[in-house]
């Protein structure tokens, strides 16, 4: 089965394409940057680590801190409120106080478009 993405350009807006949502362009999220985007009504933090894109839930599982306002350190994001650290590749807690992982999202690149969907 072959899926063809019909691309509709829109800056930092969500456009559905074959189960994926276009959330940004690659130029909007260069290496070392993370941003909050919305996928199916959920806040998601999208990060670029050395040219590879990762997406996990944006709301810290400890006390709902905004992960997109935290610190990106290689494959980990640190919550700005209490320092919980999450692995961007798996959503796993790397350091508490959070005890539950973040949901992860599938990311695809189509030309300059970043497409994301829930796993």
pLDDT digits (tens, 9 = 90+) for 47-96: 999 999 999 999 999 999 999 999 999 999 999 999 999 999 999 999 99
User: Which pTM does this prediction carry?
Assistant: 0.83
What integer pLDDT is reported at residue 6 of this predicted model?
39
Q: Is the pLDDT of residue 37 over 90?
A: yes
- CATH code for the domain defined by 30-106: 2.102.10.10
Strands in 76-78's sheet, in edge-to-edge order, are: 71-73, 76-78, 85-87, 93-95
Give the confidence band of 2 by pLDDT, cuts at 50, 70, 90. very low
Q: Where are the domains of the chain?
A: 30-106
- Kind and range of the H or E element at 42? strand 42-49
What integer pLDDT is reported at residue 18 of this predicted model?
47
* DSSP designation for 10: -
What integer pLDDT is reported at residue 11 of this predicted model?
41
* DSSP designation for 96: S
């Amino acid at each position: 089965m072959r899926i063809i993405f019909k691309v509709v350009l829109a800056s930092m807006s969500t456009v559905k394409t074959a189960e994926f949502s276009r959330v940004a362009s690659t130029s909007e999220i260069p290496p070392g940057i993370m941003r909050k985007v919305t996928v199916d009504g959920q806040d998601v933090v999208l990060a670029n680590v050395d040219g590879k894109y990762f997406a996990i839930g944006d709301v810290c599982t400890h006390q709902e801190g905004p992960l997109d306002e935290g610190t990106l350190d290689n494959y980990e994001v640190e919550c700005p409120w209490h320092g919980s650290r999450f692995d961007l590749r798996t959503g796993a807690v790397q350091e508490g106080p959070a005890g539950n992982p973040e949901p992860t999202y599938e990311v695809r690149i189509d030309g300059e478009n970043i497409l994301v969907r829930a796993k």
